[in-house]
Amino acid sequence: MQDFPHHYRVAANAVPDGDVSLSAEKLETLASAPPQEFGGPGDRWSPETLLVAAVADCFILSFRAIARASKLPWLSLNCDVEGTLERVEGTAKFTAFKVNATLNVPADTNEPRARRILEKAEESCLITNSLSGATHLHAVVLVKS
């Protein structure tokens, strides 16, 4: 890992109508548009869906790193996140992120330990730590027989 601070650059380009083109060095270009709730087509990534996706992605990557360091065996992790956007004091903002995680582990896994590692992943996720909306984890650990 590199020393802090880390810097991330993304370029956004657009014309008066159509998609916004998001690009970053060594990454595929991504098309973005307003979500349906804001009059957009609803079939492209939007700033809102990208933010919620960042929460899910960061949770899984945090879990993966902590599980590896803790030597926790696991089979799969499914995560879906619901972000709640509300108008607060005249400003639209995300007020909460509900993280639903289902972890599949081998039969001989210590379930309470696996749950603690899921909770630690939620606590250490740098994306949710950078946001003002509350994050709530609902974790399920499925022990495979």
The pTM of this model reads 0.92
pLDDT at 134 over 90: no
Q: Is residue 6 part of a domain?
A: no
Which domain range does residue 115 map to?
A: 47-143
User: Structural domain tally of the chain?
Assistant: 1
Q: Is residue 2 part of a domain?
A: no
Q: Is residue 68 part of a domain?
A: yes
pLDDT at 1 over 90: no
Asked if 96 and 135 count as a contact pair (C-beta separation under 8 A), the reply is yes
Query: Domain holding 103: CATH number?
Result: 3.30.300.20
Per-residue pLDDT tens digits for 70-122: 999 999 999 999 999 999 999 999 999 999 999 999 999 999 999 999 999 99
- Identify which has the larger pLDDT, 100 or 144: 100
Q: Is residue 66 part of a domain?
A: yes
Asked if 104 and 140 count as a contact pair (C-beta separation under 8 A), the reply is no
Per-residue pLDDT tens digits for 6-25: 999 999 999 999 999 999 99
As beta bridge partners, residue 22 has: 12, 30
